[in-house]
Structure 1
Amino acid sequence: MKTMIKTAGAASLLALAVAGNSAVAAPAFSTLYFDQNAGWDPSTAQFLPGGTGLTGLVFSGATDAEAPAGTQTNMAWSSPLNGNTSSISITSFDSGDSPSIAGDPDNPFIPTDANGTWDAGEWWVIDRLIQENQTLSVNGSSIPNPLWIADTLANLFIYTDAAETDLLLSDLNSKVTIEFWETLNSDPDGDPLCPASPAPLGTACDDVYRVAAFDFDPIFAVRDGFKYTFEFDLLPGPSRDEDDNIVGVTLVCSALSPCVDQNGDAIDTGEEIWVFTPEFNPGTSELNIRMRFAVSEIPEPSILGLMGLGMLGLGFAARRRKQS
C-alpha cells in the first residue's frame, strides 16, 4: 500500500514539474495588439423598397488596403420625393487609435484604459458605425421590411508585439449580415407610441437593425500551449439631434440582454441581436463593436497522462486502504 501511494505521488509530482517547466519555457501573452479593417460588401447587398419610391443602395468611401477587397465604408439610401438621404458608415480601429485608449467623453460606455494597452479581459472598440437619419418621404403609409440586407466584411489581425511583426491570428473576410427595418418618422394614425413596431426608445418610431447572434461567436488561437479566446460584443453609443446635441443612446437587445417595448412588454429577439436607434430628423446614432480576450493553458497530452496515472494510483491506494 505504501509503495502504491509513493508511486502515485511521484507521478503527480512529475506531472506538475513538467507543467511548471512548460509554463516557464513559454509564458502566455497578457497584452496583445490588433488591426481591424472592415467595410460594406456591395456585391451581396439587397435593397427591398417595395412601392415606397426609395432608391439605393449607393456605396462610397475607400477602405484601408488591408480590408477585404471591394468593400467600402459608406452606404446610403434616398427619397427622390424630397431629395433626402440616410446613410450608415463604418470606421475601423487598431490598438493604437481605438477610442478605448483614452475613453470617450461623449460615450459613458467606453471607459478610459488604465495603462493604454490592450490587456486580457479588457473590452476595446474595434469598429464604429454611425447612422445618419434623414426624413425620407415615401409613397403610401407603410414600408416593407427589411428595407435592406447588407454584409460587412472584416479582416482582423492579432499580434503579440506593438511593431506587429509576430502574427498570432488572422481572421479574414469575417461576415456579419445586417438587416435594417425602417419605420415611418410619424405614425399614420398620429399615435406617438408607434403601435406598429417596438419603440423602446420612445420615438415615433425607432429604427431597428437585426443581426444573427452567432455572427458574434468567439474565435480562437493557440500558441505555445496556451489558448487565446476572442469575444465580440455590441456597445451602445450616443444619439444626437439635428443640432448635434446628445439626446440619448442606442439600445442593444438580445436574449442575454432583454428589453421591453413602449408598452412595457418584453421584446422577443429570438436568436438575433436587435439594435434600436431613435428617429431624429435629421440626427445621428452611434454603435460600437468591441472585443476582448482571455488566455487559458492547454495541458499537454503527456502531462494529462502522468496526472491521470497519479490519480489512478491514488484511487487504488485508497481502495486497498479501505479493504484493509
Structure 2
Amino acid sequence: MKSKKTLLAAVGGLALLTGSAQAALIASFDFDTASGWLADGSAQTRNSANNSIINCAAGALPGTNGCGLTFSGAQEVTDGYNTVDWFSNGGVGPSGLDIVSLSGTLITGGAWVDTGIITHRNFILPSPATTLHTLDLMSEFSITSPLLLGPASDTFDISFVETPNQGGCPPPNPLGSSCDDAFTIDGLPEAIVFEIDGITYTIEFRLFGGDGFIVADNTLYTREDEENTLFVQARVTARQVPEPATLGILGLGLLLLNRRKLMK
C-alpha cells in the first residue's frame, strides 16, 4: 500500500480554542467523510485465461480504460467513484465494490463509530474471466464541529485475489465458502493527533468485518457468492498534557536525585 496523507488543519480554528490553562475536555467531535475508487489509471485487472496483468488507463468505462473495469456512482473525490464493477457471469450481476461515506459524531473516550461502509459483491465467475487485481481507494476525513480540522486524505493500494472455484480451494478458507476471496491492504489510515488547551486528542481508525468479512491483520477474507460488508471505523481519545511547571518540578527532582547519588 502507498499511504499518502495530507492534513490541511484549520489553524485559525485551533488558535481560537487555545489559551486557557485548565480548559474543559471537548466531549464530542462531528465529522464528515468522502471516498472513492480511483479511475485515474492506477488500477489493474487480471485475465485468468493466461494469468496476465492488464494495466488500466485513466477512465471510468472499459472502452476508455481498456481493462474491463466500470466505475460509476457519485464522485466525492477527484477521479473517484462510489462503485467499481468487473466481470459479470450473466446471472445476479457483476462482481464489484461499493463504498458509502458517512457523517456522524465521535464521543471523546467513547466507542468506535462507523465512518464508511464497503460492500463486496462477490459472485462466482466463470473461467476464464477478467477480474480486479489492484485498485486505489481515496478517503478524506474532516472534523466539522466544534472546530474545523482537515480534510485528512489517504490513498490506499488494495490487492485482490480472485480464488478458483473449481478443482479445490487453496487454504486458508476461514469463512468456509466454496472458496473465500481475499484483499490485502498494507496498513490503515494514520491516526490524527492534535492538541487544544493542553489536551492531546487522538483519532484512530480501524477496519471491522461485518457479515461475510474477516479482518486478519492486513488481509481481508470475503465469502464467495455473497454480498459482504466491511466497516471503516474511528474513535477519539484524550490525554492531558502535563503543565510546564509540573515538568520543571519533575526535572528538578531527577537532577537532585542524581546529585545525591554522585555525592555518595
Give the 3-state SS of the residue equivalent to 2:97 in structure 1. strand
Which structure features the higher share of helix residues? Answer: 1
Question: Corresponding residue for 2:72?
Answer: 60
TM norm structure 2? 0.75
2:49 alignment partner in structure 1: 51
Distance of 2:182 and 2:190 partners within structure 1: 21
Between the aligned partners of 1:303 and 1:57, the Cα distance in structure 2 is 59
- CA distance in 2: counterparts of 1:284 and 1:201, whole angstroms: 13
Deviation at 1:56, TM superposition (A): 2.2
1:16-53 CA deviation, whole Å, 9 max, x = no partner? xxxxx9652x2231322211111111112222325369
2:162 to 152, 170, 182: 182
Q: Tell me whether 1:204 sits opposite 2:184 in the alignment.
A: no
Residue 8 of structure 1: aligned partner: none
CA contact (8 A) 2:89 2:124 kept: no
What residue number does 2:191 align with?
218
Q: Secondary structure at the match of 2:96?
A: strand
Residues 32 and 142 of structure 2 are in contact (CA less than 8 Å); yes or no, is this contact kept in structure 1?
yes
Deviation of 1:221 (Å): 1.6
Q: Which moved more, 1:37-46 or 1:146-155?
A: 146-155
**Within 1, Cα distance between the matches of 2:242 and 2:200?**
10
Count of residues in Structure 1 that have an aligned counterpart in Structure 2: 231
85-94 or 130-139: bigger deviation:
130-139
- Per-residue deviation, 1:306: 3.9
The answer as to whether partners of 2:182 and 2:222 remain within 8 angstroms in 1 is: yes
Decide which of 27, 31, 34 is 2:28's aligned counterpart: 31
Mapped contact 2:195–2:201 kept (Cα < 8 A): yes
Instruction: Judge conservation of contact 1:133–1:284 (CA < 8 Å) in 2.
Output: yes
Q: 1:147 to 1:60 in 2, by over 3 A?
A: closer
> Aligned residue for 1:158?
143
Distance 1:27 1:315, change over 3 A: farther
**Percent identity over paired residues:** 28
- In structure 2, what is the equivalent of residue 242 of structure 1? none
Higher-Rg structure is: 1
Q: Is the 8 A contact 2:71 2:81 kept in 1?
A: yes
Unpaired segments ≥5 residues, structure 2: 1-18, 55-66
Deviation at 1:310, TM superposition (A): 4.3
d(CA) in 2 for partners of 1:62, 1:293: 29
Deviation at 1:305, TM superposition (A): 2.6
Q: Residue by residue, what CA displacement relative to the aligned partner does 1:225-270 show, whole Å, maximum 9, x if unpaired?
A: 22211211111111xxxxxxxxxx321112xxxxxxxxxxxxxxxx
Structure 1 stretches of at least 4 aligned residues deviating more than 6 Å after TM superposition: 80-83
Equivalent-residue separation in structure 2 for 1:128 and 1:38 (angstroms): 10
Contact 1:31–1:118, Cα closer than 8 Å, also in 2 = yes
The answer to whether the Cα contact below 8 Å between 1:82 and 1:137 also exists between their aligned partners in 2 is no
**Residue 304 of structure 1, CA deviation:** 2.0
Task: Judge conservation of contact 1:81–1:137 (CA < 8 Å) in 2.
Answer: no
Residues 198-249 of structure 1, C-alpha deviation per residue, up to 9 Å, x if partnerless? Answer: 2111112001011012x333221222222211211111111xxxxxxxxxx3
CA distance in 1, matches of 2:205, 2:71: 26
Higher share in strand: 2
Question: Residue deviations 1:58-110, cap 9 Å, x none?
Answer: 100113xxx422211001101478795111100011116xxxxxxxxxxxxxx
Q: Can you give the 5+ residue segments of structure 1 that lack an aligned partner in the other structure? A: 1-20, 97-116, 239-248, 255-272
Q: Report SS of the residue matched to 1:216.
A: coil
Superposed displacement of residue 147, structure 1: 3.9
Per the alignment, in what secondary structure is the counterpart of residue 51 of structure 1? coil
Residue 148 of structure 2 is aligned to residue 148 of structure 1: no
